[in-house]
DNA sequence: CTAGATGTTAAGGT
DNA sequence: CACCTTAACATCTA
């Protein structure tokens, strides 16, 4: 479930489990997930080093292990991290194992192999290379308004565009639009200044709420769309049957009563 | 058996 | 250039 909140939770998990332990080995179980590196290079760089600092930007998780290089992880649609105690078996679809000298391991698990792991010189360089926009939880209202200025695209597409705002995907963009009462196909240029401000507030509200609940859908507030986001689901606020439509190849769920087309 | 699933990217079109 | 759609990637499940 790796959009910004999930990745932030992975980051905290890594902080709580995997820092400051000497890496003894790096086991690449499937090199398809490696981007711009090889099992050998990854291994020889990390051997004897420790992860000492993590960072998140958008949907990317970084872990510094030396002065000059940084591990970067992306989780695709199905990736996650799992820290394994000595005797624990690695889960199915483990693609990468970092072995620590205390006998524990950090597993990068990714069922659908759409995730990628690589090595970069710096976070900033990586952001620049990937043309990532502002991190969704690290922008202010003025910055957001500036990003929206002059745009002709649909609200849903703009929220999900990583080159404009980094971190929001299909699930949370639905929630943000629902909380704001904006139809997904609304053109950003058709929103009032107040609506743009409200949209910004809800980006922060929805994402930070999800981070605070450890991205556990069942603990989201009762007014949230996400737990009802399936065929036949009903709006938690008015009971209306949710509608869905396709937008840039993704399924959008929304409440036709609370999110009117303008 | 088929369609679709939280993501990104390339390719093509308007 | 801005914006839109589709397909591809690999795997599992409804």
Interatomic CA–C1' length for residue A34 and nucleotide B8, angstroms:
14
Q: Which long-range contacts (CB under 8 A, 24 or more apart) does A124-128 make?
A: A126/A57, A126/A60, A126/A62, A126/A70, A126/A72, A127/A57, A127/A166
Kindly report the number of other CB atoms within 10 A of residue A117's CB atom: 23
Chain C footprint bases within 7 A of protein beta carbons? 2-12
- Each residue of A134-143: pLDDT tens digit? 999 999 999 9
pLDDT at A249: 87
Nearest to A85 by CA among A29, A30, A18, A24: A18
CA A157 – C1' B7 distance (Å)?
A: 14
> Is the CB of A157 less than 7 A from some atom of nucleic acid strand C?
yes
* pTM of model > 0.95: yes
Determine if strand C comes within 7 Å of the CB of A163.
no
What are the pLDDT digits (tens) for A109-162? 999 999 999 999 999 999 999 999 999 999 999 999 999 999 999 999 999 999
């Amino acid at each position: 479930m790796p959009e910004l909140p999930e990745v932030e939770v992975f980051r905290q998990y890594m902080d709580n489990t995997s820092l400051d332990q000497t890496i003894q080995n790096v086991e690449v179980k499937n090199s398809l997930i490696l981007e711009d590196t090889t099992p050998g290079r990854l291994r020889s760089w990390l051997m004897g080093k420790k992860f000492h600092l993590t960072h998140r930007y958008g949907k990317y998780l970084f872990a510094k292990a030396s002065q000059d290089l940084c591990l970067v992880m992306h989780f695709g649609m199905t990736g996650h991290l799992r820290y394994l105690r000595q005797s624990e078996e690695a889960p199915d679809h483990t693609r990468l194992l970092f072995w620590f000298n205390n006998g524990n391991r950090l597993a990068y698990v990714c069922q659908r192999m759409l995730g990628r792991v690589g090595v970069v010189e710096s976070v900033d360089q990586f952001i620049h290379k990937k043309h990532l926009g502002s991190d969704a939880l690290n922008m202010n209202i003025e910055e957001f308004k500036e990003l929206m200025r002059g745009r002709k695209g649909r609200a849903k597409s703009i929220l999900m565009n990583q080159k404009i705002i980094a971190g929001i995907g299909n699930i949370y963009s639905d929630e943000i639009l629902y909380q704001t009462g904006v139809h997904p196909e609304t053109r950003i240029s058709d929103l009032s200044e107040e609506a743009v401000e409200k949209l910004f507030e809800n980006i922060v509200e929805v994402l930070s709420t999800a981070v605070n609940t450890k991205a556990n859908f069942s603990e989201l507030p009762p007014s949230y769309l996400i737990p009802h986001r399936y065929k036949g689901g009903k709006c938690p606020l008015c009971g209306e049957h949710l509608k869905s439509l396709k937008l840039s190849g993704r399924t959008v769920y929304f409440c036709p009563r609370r999110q009117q087309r303008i």
